[in-house]
Amino acid sequence: MSLYKITKQKLYYLKYSKNTVKTYLHYVDEFELSLNKHYSRLCAKDIQEYLNNYVFTSVSQQNQIVNALKFAWEKSLGKKYLKIDFTRPRKEKKLPRIIDKNFILSRLGEIENKKHIAIITLGFSVGLRVSEVVNLKVKDIDSARMIIHIRNAKGRKDRLVPLSDGLLKILRDYYQEYHPTDYLFYGQSKPKYTASSCNKIVKKYLGNEYHFHLLRHSSFTCMHESGEDIATISKIAGHSSIKTTMIYTHVSNQSLRNTKTPI
């Protein structure tokens, strides 16, 4: 048994997301390969020296590696980490990029493929994450109550988001042509569409400089500029803290346009 295999078993047992499992195992495997001894002889000094000498490429990567090794040490091996500095660096406070609303709408009007229209519109209308779009099932679209059920999203949380008349029409047009039975969007050889395929769609119609998650940022920024309150946007976004949603107030052009400067 290796540290990699023990960590893998623990991650699956605790039901971590597929992305987290993939990331943690990558860095645990990288760490274990750097060792010159069996994991059973691992000590706090080994991990501390590894972290001290690692050349991180970004704050995000540093957080991922620290989280992975902390999990392996504490959860996989059941050790205390009092002698290891698992302090994570503060995240870089960058404003999210957005795509202009009129630009998105104009490009949507030029798309003929109804599946592609539906996927992009879902990302922009209510700011769904790409993972949430590909995991949607036909039964999650509730046209009677005009809501969409988002199940087991980030943080393993469910939530409801509004279903507009415009989005419902687009989804119905798509359904009448493709007739999905289980997952709302199925792939050519798989039961559901992939995240990479969704990103390719965004790049194809909106530009190579864009990716799917920017639709989410753009959606919440547009909601704020339209006068929607932050608490409601936070609920739609599925943010655990309203502080996360507050960043869209800094991106909004509307608040800047309404600011009266001295000159």
Active site residues: 129, 154, 213, 216, 239, 248
DSSP 66-100: HHHHHHIIIIIS----TTS--PPPPPP-PPPP---
Q: Own/partner pairs for 160-166, CB < 8 Å, 24+ apart?
A: 161/126, 161/128, 161/236, 162/126, 162/236, 164/125, 166/121, 166/125
Alpha helices for 14-164 (secondary structure H): 18-34, 44-53, 59-71, 101-108, 114-125, 130-134
Do residues 140 and 128 lie in contact, with contact meaning Cβ atoms separated by under 8 Å? no
